[in-house]
A and B are shown apart, each in its own frame.
Chain A
Amino acid sequence: MPLSQADVRHIATLSRLEFDRDQLDDFQVKLDRILAFVDQLTAVDMDGVEPMAHPLDLTQRLRADEADTGIDRDRIQQNARETTDGYYRVPKVIE
């Protein structure tokens, strides 16, 4: 089923992206084309096949629970546009 413009807008909202009218048209056409292409998968019977999430059949490796110094906070925060006293600043969240 082709994607509607409303579908594309909904996916954009979930993705935290926004588009103007022209961009929306372009994304609708190209996303439709991509989804039509991957729809080949739905035609194949794969019942009973174990899903493969990862090429390595590994369990999570855990390290010893020991304190580590890591990277200095001030150095990390040099990449943030707005900080105060070691905190990140964001616009108001609650009215």
Chain B
Amino acid sequence: MMRPVDLASQADQLAAGDTTSVALTERSLAAIDALQPTLNAFISIDREGALTAAAAADERRTAGRPLSALDGVPIAHKDIFCTAGLKTSCGSRMLDTFVPPYNATVVDRFAAAGLVTVGKTNMDEFAMGSSNETSFYGDVMNPWDTTRSPGGSSGGSAAAVAAGIVAGATGTDTGGSIRQPAALCGITGVKPTYGRASRYGMIAFASSLDQAGTLTRTAKDAALLLELLCGFDPKDSTSLDVPMESWTADIDKPLDGLRIGVAEAFYDDGLASGCRDALEVALDEYRQLGATVSTVELPHLYLSVPTYYVVAPAECSSNLSRFDGIRFGHRATDCDDLAELYTRSRSEGFGDEVKRRIMTGTYVLSSGYYDAYYLKAQRARQLISADFKAAFATVDVIAGPTAPTPAFGLGDKVDDPVTMYLNDIYTIGANLAGLPALSLPMGVVDGLPVGMQLIGPALSEARLLNAAHGFQSATDWHHATPPLFQGGEQ
């Protein structure tokens, strides 16, 4: 069977001399051009920078000194990561003209490994959204059905990988922003343990929840990319100073004895029957592979969405106070005094969803309401986190659906913020507890892909990726491509 090209096969082709970085990069840039009018997956394209980097990668390869196994492979960065000399908008009018003077650590790490950045992907404004409809640069369309959302906030990265424009892209996940779009676009999305990936140069939304990760076709590719992306960074005060074991070395390990937990909390009324059925089939597949499936309790998980919508807006209102029109970002003109400059710059620069989050956060932190909301949410966060700790005493991973439904229509949920927030009902818990989690394709429902989420204890990425890879070694869902697919086959 023909399979879509992935990062690992591109690396093999480069190593064997069957292709060049320039050829792969030109192919990727051509796919952007072909699909940009249909998908709108990119905000910026760095044609010249990419081809220069690709030529340099080819020279290194010819000289016999590639920087890494993935040297010369084209990828895309979510437009939340600062790229020196290349516009970084975070999907906002506020940063429409912002050109960072430095690279995010994640960007530096990929550059040091020789990866070629073809462009910056579209996203919900400041990563606040679950459908990519809050972007100042317009909706991203789902390559499986362009009337539907790719999910969000890393919707541009998910659409780009699903459509074969690049085989890998970065994303960020504050409440599900990697896993949910991965599920809706039929690819693999991984959010590592909080603190594994540096947040330096990654524009902050909610600092105690934000974590960088990857969107790729396969779990194997995710492991390859995450080994480059993760690691201690002295420039991020919450970066984890722990040893980095290999995440690819044991990825082929058989799944005999893997203990999978399933929580009743993930089977709520909102879960579409097609997703429920696909999950049952997927769990059977795991049993065939030697895993055991048992029930675990997550009694406070139902509090995760309301908890998140106190904690995340509170942190957002604080983080986004830096946008004052003075040092960077949009600046209103003809202001009489400083207060007017602040207020008008912010009112003109931010979109409605970002304003709602700032307002919610300001309210829950304001005098007289702090105990009722913020303190209460911090307590709920403790309960949710303790539930996970207790569950992981008896299982290695917790499996469930990533999202309640397959991709929904663009425009379907924009008028009701709470309906939109409930998209992340299964993913938010892992952020609140700081746990690693991933989504992998587990089926197709009504012609649309659906994802299975695996959550593990802190620092269990190797085991999670092994569990996902084992499933993908026995199934073909991750090879399914949308009608618009423009990548090559192997």
B366 touches A11 (CB 8 A): yes
Taken residue by residue from 382 to 420, chain B's Cβ proximity to chain A (1 for < 8 Å, 0 otherwise) reads as 110100000000000000000000000000000011100
Nearest chain A residue, comparing its CB with the CB of B320: A15
- Interface membership of B265, Cβ < 8 A: no
User: What interface size band does chain A fall in?
Assistant: 35 or more
Residues of B within 8 A of A19 (CB): 347
Shortest distance between the CB of B290 and any CB in chain A (Å): 32
Residues of B within 8 A of A71 (CB): 101-102
B309 touches A37 (CB 8 A): yes
A17 touches B208 (CB 8 A): no
A90 touches B326 (CB 8 A): yes
A34 touches B417 (CB 8 A): yes
A42-B385 contact in complex given A11-B366, A15-B317, A78-B101, C-beta closer than 8 Å? no
Nearest chain B residue, comparing its CB with the CB of A70: B102
The contact of B376 among A46, A80, A90, A91, by CB within 8 Å, is A46
- Interface membership of B342, Cβ < 8 A: yes
| Complex CA–CA separation, A31 to B373 (angstroms) | 14
A53-B208 contact in complex given A16-B346, A92-B337, C-beta closer than 8 Å? yes
Taken residue by residue from 3 to 14, chain A's Cβ proximity to chain B (1 for < 8 Å, 0 otherwise) reads as 000001001101
A14 touches B303 (CB 8 A): no
- Interface membership of B179, Cβ < 8 A: no
The contact of A41 among B100, B208, B306, by CB within 8 Å, is B306
Shortest distance between the CB of B312 and any CB in chain A (Å): 11
The contact of B303 among A18, A40, A79, by CB within 8 Å, is A40
- Interface membership of B335, Cβ < 8 A: yes
Residue of B342, B350, B362, B366 most packed against chain A (CB within 10 A): B362
A33-B382 contact in complex given A15-B359, A19-B347, A93-B337, C-beta closer than 8 Å? no
| Complex CA–CA separation, A77 to B60 (angstroms) | 36
The contact of B379 among A49, A77, A90, by CB within 8 Å, is A49
- Interface membership of B63, Cβ < 8 A: no
Shortest distance between the CB of B340 and any CB in chain A (Å): 7
Residues of B within 8 A of A44 (CB): 303, 376, 380
- Interface membership of A21, Cβ < 8 A: no
Taken residue by residue from 340 to 377, chain B's Cβ proximity to chain A (1 for < 8 Å, 0 otherwise) reads as 11111011001010011011101110100000110111
Nearest chain A residue, comparing its CB with the CB of B367: A14
A27 touches B328 (CB 8 A): no
B194 touches A56 (CB 8 A): yes
- Interface membership of B98, Cβ < 8 A: yes
Residues of A within 8 A of B97 (CB): 79
The contact of A63 among B234, B358, B379, by CB within 8 Å, is B234
Q: How many A-B residue pairs have CB under 8 A?
A: 160
A34-B238 contact in complex given A16-B343, A40-B303, A50-B382, C-beta closer than 8 Å? no
Nearest chain A residue, comparing its CB with the CB of B363: A11
Residues of A within 8 A of B342 (CB): 16
| Complex CA–CA separation, A81 to B317 (angstroms) | 24
A41-B380 contact in complex given A11-B362, A18-B347, C-beta closer than 8 Å? yes
- Interface membership of B123, Cβ < 8 A: no
| Complex CA–CA separation, A48 to B376 (angstroms) | 11
Taken residue by residue from 24 to 68, chain A's Cβ proximity to chain B (1 for < 8 Å, 0 otherwise) reads as 001100110111011111101010011111111010110100000
B195 touches A46 (CB 8 A): no
Residues of B within 8 A of A11 (CB): 359, 362-363, 366
B359 touches A31 (CB 8 A): yes
Residues of A within 8 A of B335 (CB): 91
A79 touches B328 (CB 8 A): yes
| Complex CA–CA separation, A53 to B342 (angstroms) | 29
- Interface membership of B120, Cβ < 8 A: no
A31 touches B346 (CB 8 A): no
Shortest distance between the CB of A94 and any CB in chain B (Å): 10
A82 touches B356 (CB 8 A): no
| Complex CA–CA separation, A40 to B358 (angstroms) | 20
Residues of A within 8 A of B99 (CB): 78-79
Q: Which residues of A contact B (CB under 8 A)?
A: 8, 11-12, 14-19, 26-27, 30-31, 33-35, 37-42, 44, 46, 49-56, 58, 60-61, 63, 71-72, 75-82, 88, 90-93
| 11 more CB-based (< 8 A) A-B contacts, given A15-B362, A19-B347, A38-B309 | A11-B359, A11-B362, A12-B359, A17-B350, A18-B343, A30-B417, A41-B376, A56-B195, A79-B328, A81-B325, A93-B337
A-B contact pairs, 22 of them (CB 8 A): A11-B359, A15-B362, A16-B346, A18-B347, A27-B356, A34-B309, A34-B360, A34-B417, A35-B360, A37-B418, A38-B310, A38-B377, A41-B303, A51-B375, A52-B382, A55-B435, A76-B327, A78-B101, A88-B326, A90-B338, A91-B340, A92-B338
